[in-house]
Amino acid sequence: MTSTKRKRIKLGDVYVIPLPDGGFAFGRRFKDASIAIYLLNR
């Protein structure tokens, strides 16, 4: 059995969210437990 290690998202980190249409959105975590999602149009 192969185990995968999850990476913890820290405050201020920007991370990639793959979208079903092959594009990407980007997210950022803030101190007040909210996140911002940035969608880039092709």
> Would you state the pLDDT for residue 29?
85
3-state helix/strand/coil string of 1-42? CCCCCCCCCCCCCEEEEECCCCCEEEEEECCCCCEEEEECCC
> Would you state the pLDDT for residue 1?
59
> Would you state the pLDDT for residue 42?
60
> Would you state the pLDDT for residue 35?
83
- Taking the model in full, what pTM does it have? 0.58
pLDDT < 70 stretches in the chain: 1, 41-42
